[in-house]
Structure 1
Amino acid sequence: MKPNNLLEMLHRTVERFPEKDALLWKESGTYQHITYQKLWNRIYDAASGLNHLGIGENDKVAILSNSNPMWGITDFAAASLRAVSVPVYPTLPSEQVAYILKNADVRTVVVENEEQRDKVLAGDANVENIITMYPGESFSSTESNLSFFKLEKIGEENRIPDWEERWQKINRDQLTTIIHTSGTTGKPNGVMLSHGNFLSNMEAVQFWLIELLPEDLTLSYLPLSHVFERMAGYYMPLSVGTTIAYAESIDTIQENLKEISPTVLTSVPRLFEKVYAKVLDEIDNGTPIKQKVFNWAINIGIERYERYLNAPVNELILGEVMPSDFMRKWKVAERLVYQKVKKELGGRIRGMVSGGGTLNPDVAQFFWAIDLPILEGYGLTETSPVITTNPMVRAKVGTVGKVMPNLDVRIAADGEVLVRGPSVMKGYYNNEEATANAFEGDWLYTGDIGELDEDNYLKIIDRKKRILVLSTGKNVAPQVIENAVNENSFIEQSLVIGDQRKYIICLVNPDFETLLPWAKQNGIRSESLDEICRHKIVKDLIEDKVKEHTKDLAEYEKPKKVVIIGEQWTVETGELTPKLSVRVNVIENKYKNLIEESYAEDSPSNSQMETGATAGYA
């Protein structure tokens, strides 16, 4: 029997695995743990504490923190009171935090530390309570400004006597969260999602994806503020009794992978792209023998993948797909190449899920070739989030998979993907106009251009608003070009510009962790990122890499100029969203003068690129 709400979902796991570790996290260099039963008890205490503060049905409780046990405790505690959690990315500046708090009518905010509390205090949001997870030594507790420990203590002393009876009455239609969109093209909207939205999406995903098991161990490094991580990396593992380990940060992911040795990993494409670029860079700098062995092994892996993709289902079930002589070659390739890459990811991964953006097909094919299945999916915050995903048995590289069995998808006349079903949002909070504009009847406009192939697999081409129409009449999907450019280890992010222009140009943000050591080895001693990016050999390097990675594209899809940006694009400085996507409007506005200057120069020939660099061009 299906659970009626998220609390019931978790409680079933607690009853099955009370003494099993639910969460692992690092404090003072050592991993801590909490069992499912202790996690449940702390949710009870936190819920009772919030209840004592006056939090009740449909009250809004914001969570402004990196992922840690208290994030999830707050989320479930609020949900048990029929209250509504409002996740806020901890990387957002104070003015954006204030906007979200006001937009969602937040009464209480749970913050990670004093830095996050200061953001709340700096804004003009009218909140009643601030609860701090990790208060500093100078922290002074008051009735409306207390520590998370104090909240739980209050709850322990004032436990809700009928708490279980209360949460058991919550049905699937109850609003549980308001998640604000990333705002890549304007002000974020608050997406209203119910218990049923999440539960229906989880039930559909379990039909297609890697089957999570109680003995699995996942590593969570994406913020729980992100709907993809919250559903696939948190709710789903907790629903089956899997143990979740939290990475310390994105910067320590490589170290944490080796420490934890997860069996399943969910990620946005950028992590997979960086691992791929690092491996290729190492091979390019290796001996001819090493390169030959690597290429042979990859070709063996690709052949194995293609055999699986094209094999009849009965052969897959019986395990009769691979001839014995081929398997001998594959085992040699596994020992010489695949195992070395797997070791860098902890050595135990049996499957990975990519979401939150389009994965480059070359990257996906590489991981399948080395026997690390990577299942790409597609979805939106508005759909809780998964719309399509590749099934484990029939994953097709270059697509985002098949439509969830409880959803309907159709392609509009202009190519836009439309979706309807039980995981589609209730609407945008306090914005009836935006909600009305998002739907055609019960069909949700996704804002993405896509197509269904002959096997009904969906391929996403680009965001509808991002399709560039050149003055020559050619339509350009920038995402394909940016994905190709970003494959290189010297390039962190890129942005293609060219709407209503004769040709496209490419703004490139280098991967300074890779570029700076290379520059030093080549005699560039400057400490200024701007000066380094202006140096001729750096400009030549980046230009050559862009040419190399776009050589197979149509002529009108090849950037005719490359502009190197001599400063880092970050979430904190506003160029990136918290899920590391580029904010197109922000970057185009910030570098408006530089873009105009690039186009004002003489038009380059098709065989020549021009490169510029800037450090904070406004």
Structure 2
Amino acid sequence: MDPKNLLEMLSQTVERYSEKDALMWKQDGSYVSMTYQALWDRIRNLAAGLARLGVNPGDKVAILSNSNQMWAISDFAIGSLGAVSVPVYPTIPYNQVSYVLKNGDCTIAIVENDEQLQKVRDGDAELQHAIVMEPGPDFTATGHVSSLASLEKDGAIHPLNDWEERWKAIAEDQLMTIIHTSGTTGEPKGVMLSHENFLSNMKAIQFWLIELKPEDVQLSYLPLSHVFERLAGHYMPLSVGTTIAYAESIDTIQDNMQEVQPTIMTSVPRLFEKVYARVVEQVEGGSPVKRKMFNWALDVGGQRYDYYLNTPVQEMLLNKQMPKKLQRHLLLADRLVYQKIKQRLGGRMRSMVVGGGTLNPDIARFFWSLDIPILEGYGLTETSPVVTTNPITRAKVGTTGKPLPNVKVRIASDGEVLVKGPNVMQGYYKNQEATDKDIVDGWLHTGDIGSLDEEGYLKIIDRKKRMLVLSTGKNVAPAPVESVINESSYIEFAAVVGDGRQYVIALVTPDMENLLPWAKQQGMDVGSRAELCKRDEVQQLLTDEVARLTQSHADYEQPKKVVVVKDEWTVDSGELTPKLSLKMNHILEKYKSVIEETYDETSVSEREVAAGT
């Protein structure tokens, strides 16, 4: 029987897999686990504790934490009371935290540690209570601050006798969460998502995507405050009995993969761009024999991908075998090349799902050719989030796949992607004007420019507001250009600008992890980051990298100048959103003078501009 709310969904899984591991996390240097029954018991206890604090249906409770087992417990405990969770990115500064808490009308905040508690205290949001997941050694409970452990203990002593009746009474259209947008083009808006929004999306995804299984282990490293990970890395696996293993951080993913040996993983394009760059760098640095063997294996894998893409589904269902020669070559390529790369991912990875941005088609095909399927999809916070995804049996590189069975997609006259379906949000919280602007006659105006091919696969070109119109009349979509530039192992991030100009230029930040060893190999006296960025050799290297990687693009899409930015771009400094997308309004404002000088060739030399001086 289909569940009518997310608590019923989890309850059904607990009934089937009560003693199976639900969650895994690193503790004292090793991974520990929690069964589905233990997870359910802790949700019930925390719900009772929250109720004793006065949490009622409709109340807004913030979660300010990195992804961990307590995030999951808190999310379901809040939802079981008919209350509304308001996730907050743990990387944003206190003033942005305060904005979300106030805009979301939060009365209680569950925070990860003392650092996050201080952000709440530094802001001007009026909270009734704060709950700390991991209190520090100097933590002292007060009338307005308590630990999550004490709240769970209190709930175990004083259980809610009608808890089951409460969550069973939650209707499909009841509000589950308010997730704020990243605010790349203005103040963040609170997206209202119901139980039905998520459940309808999950049901449709299972139809298209690779089937999740109870024996799967899914590595989770993206923040649960982001809707993509919330659904694909949280609700989806918990709905089928999959085990979720939380990575310690983005920096420890490689080690965590070896420890938990995941079979499934979700990610944003940035991770694949960097893995690709490092693999290519290692291959190019190897012997001629190894390079030849790798390229041969890549070609063989490409032939397999083409076979699956071009063979009619009906023939595949009849178990039509691929050519025997190709089968033999694949077995050899797997032993000599594929397995070695798969071992870096833990050795058991059978699929990776990418969202939150556009993946370079060359990189996607690269992984497919190595027998590591990457299933790209498209969605927004406002669509809970998935709109389209590539089915495992017919994934088309360079597209974000087909619309889900219960979702309609059409392209407006100006190229904007419009979406209609049960996954579309209820609206923006306390912002009817923005809701009416974005949802017209039931169709959500996504703000993305895209196209549908003859088979119904969607291709996203760029954000509508990011399209650059040159003074020559040419239109440039910066995202695809930035994506290929990011393939360089020496470049961390790239931003292409040039709206209203005669040509485009690129602002790039160096990847110091690879640039420093290169500089030392060149015999440079490496000083500070800023000093290194001023070096002629570094400027030339990065300029050449941009030229090399964009040479297949149209001439007007190729940056004519490269600005080497000495600053590191981070979420805290404002250049990146929490999902590592560029925050262009901030970048354009911060580097306004440098951009102006770069275009004004008479006022400053190209060398000075490249150094960011």
Say whether 1:471 aligns with 2:471: yes
Matches within 5 A, 1:213-292: 213-292=213-292
The CA deviation at 1:226 is: 0.7
Indicate whether 1:461 and 2:489 are aligned. no
The aligned amino acid for 1:180 is H
In 1, Cα distance between equivalents of 2:471 and 2:545:
27
Matches within 5 A, 1:110-259: 110-259=110-259
Number of the residue aligned with 1:612:
609
Residue 550 of structure 2: aligned partner: 550
- Deviation of the 1:336 alpha carbon: 1.3
Letter of the 1:386 partner, please give it: V
**Residue number in structure 1 paired with 2:77:** 77
Kindly state the Cα deviation for residue 527 of structure 1 after the two structures are TM-superposed: 3.0
Structure 1 residue 525: Cα displacement: 2.5
Gaps of 5+ in 2: none
Cα distance in 2 for residues equivalent to 1:211 and 1:65: 30
Q: Counterpart of 2:422?
A: 422
Structure 2 Cα separation of the partners of residues 88 and 519 of structure 1: 39
Contact conserved, 2:516 with 2:526, CA < 8 A, in 1?
no
The question of whether the paired residues in 1 share the 8 Å contact of 2:79 and 2:176 is answered with: yes
Shift of 1:321: 3.6
Q: CA separation in 2, counterparts of 1:265 and 1:129?
A: 35
CA distance in structure 1 between the aligned counterparts of 2:608 and 2:32, rounded to whole angstroms: 50
Structure 1 residue 30, shift from structure 2 partner: 1.3
Q: What is the aligned length?
A: 613
Q: Does residue 376 of structure 2 align to residue 376 of structure 1?
A: yes
SS at match of 1:444: strand
| Residue 609 (structure 1) shift | 8.0
1:502-521 correspondence runs (5 A): 502-521=502-521
| Structure 1 SS opposite 2:245 | strand
Counterpart residue identity of residue 64, structure 1: L
The whole-number CA distance in structure 2 between the counterparts of 1:233 and 1:213 is 13
C-alpha contact (below 8 Å) 2:598/2:606 kept by paired residues? no
Distance apart, 1:610 and its partner CA: 6.2
Q: Which residue number corresponds to residue 570 of structure 2? A: 570
Q: Is the 8 A contact 2:107 2:128 kept in 1?
A: yes
| Equivalent position SS for 1:494 | strand
Q: Which amino acid aligns with 1:77?
A: A
Q: Go from structure 1 to structure 2 and tell me whether the alpha carbon gap of 1:412 and 1:610 turns closer, same or farther (over 3 Å shift).
A: farther
1:63 is paired with a residue of what secondary structure?
A: strand
Matches of 1:610 and 1:446 in 2, distance apart? Answer: 40
Q: Partners in 2 of 1:144 and 1:152 — Cα distance? A: 16
Structure 2 residue 306 is matched with structure 1 residue 306: yes
Letter of the structure 2 residue corresponding to residue 151 of structure 1: L
2:54, 2:70 → 1: CA distance?
20
Contact 1:564 1:611 in 2 (8 A): no
Q: Which residue of 1 aligns with 2:522?
A: 522
Q: Determine if contact 1:82/1:170 at 8 Å carries over to the other structure.
A: yes
Given that 2:539 and 2:611 are in contact with CA atoms closer than 8 Å, whether structure 1 keeps it comes out as no
1:41 paired residue number: 41
Gaps of 5+ in 1: none
Amino acid at match of 2:384: S
Deviations 1:406-448 (A, max 9, x none): 0111100000000011000000001111111111110000000
- 1:89 corresponding residue in structure 2: 89
Please state how far the C-alpha of 1:315 moved relative to its aligned partner.
2.7
Shift of 1:330: 1.3
C-alpha distance in structure 2 between counterparts of 1:375 and 1:74, whole Å = 30
Paired AA for residue 266 in structure 2: T
The equivalent residue for 1:391 is 391
Aligned to 2:319: 319
Question: Counterparts in 2 of 1:309-458, with a 5 A limit?
Answer: 309-458=309-458
Rounded Cα–Cα distance in structure 2 between residues aligned with 1:614 and 1:465: 29
Could you tell me how far apart the structure 2 residues matched to 1:550 and 1:353 are?
Answer: 26
Aligned partners of 1:492 and 1:509 also within 8 Å: yes
Paired with 2:38 and 2:562, the residues of 1 have a C-alpha distance of 55
Please report the TM-score for the alignment, with normalisation by the length of structure 2.
0.98
AA matched with 2:609: G
Kindly state the Cα deviation for residue 237 of structure 1 after the two structures are TM-superposed: 0.3
CA distance in 2, matches of 1:279, 1:238: 33
Q: CA deviation at 1:32?
A: 1.3
1:18-38 CA distance string (max 9 Å, x none): 110000000120111100001
CA distance in 1, matches of 2:530, 2:574: 19
Q: Which residue of 2 aligns with 1:59?
A: 59
| Amino acid across the alignment from 1:612 | V
Task: Tell me the CA shift for residue 573 of structure 1.
Answer: 1.1
**Shift in alpha-carbon separation, 1:191–1:543, aligned structure 2, 3 A:** same
Structure 1 residues 120, 100: closer, same or farther in 2, change over 3 A? Answer: same
SS of residue matched to 1:186: coil
Q: State the 1:522 CA deviation.
A: 1.6
* Distance of 1:423 and 1:557 partners within structure 2: 36
- What per-residue deviation string (whole Å, max 9, x for no partner) do you get for residues 263-317 of structure 1? 0111011111111111111111112221111111111111110011111223312
Q: 1:41 Cα deviation (Å)?
A: 0.4
Q: Are residues 51 and 3 of structure 1, via their aligned partners in 2, closer, same or farther at CA, if it must alter by over 3 Å?
A: same
The 2-side partners of 1:349 and 1:42 are apart by 30
Partner amino acid, structure 2, of 1:364:
A
Partner of 1:103 in structure 2? 103
Residues 567 and 614 of structure 1 are in contact (CA less than 8 Å); yes or no, is this contact kept in structure 2? no
Q: TM-score, length-normalised on structure 1?
A: 0.98
Answer whether contact 2:597 2:609 (CA < 8 A) is retained: no
After superposing on structure 2, the runs of 4+ consecutive aligned residues of structure 1 that deviate more than 3 Å are 608-615
Query: Contact (CA 8 Å) 2:78, 2:84: kept in 1 or not?
Result: yes
Describe the SS at the equivalent of 1:597. Answer: helix
Residues 541-575 of structure 1 deviation map (CA, whole Å, 9 limit, x = unaligned): 10111010000111100100000111210111111
Q: Distance in 2 between matches of 1:7 and 1:48?
A: 15
Greater mean alpha carbon deviation, residues 325-334 or residues 576-585: 325-334
1:185 Cα shift? 1.3
The Cα shift of 1:613 comes to 4.0
CA distance in 2, matches of 1:240, 1:47: 23
Q: Which residue of 2 aligns with 1:50?
A: 50
In the aligned structure 2, how far is the partner of 1:21 from the partner of 1:613? 53
Structure 1 residue 602 displacement after superposition: 4.9
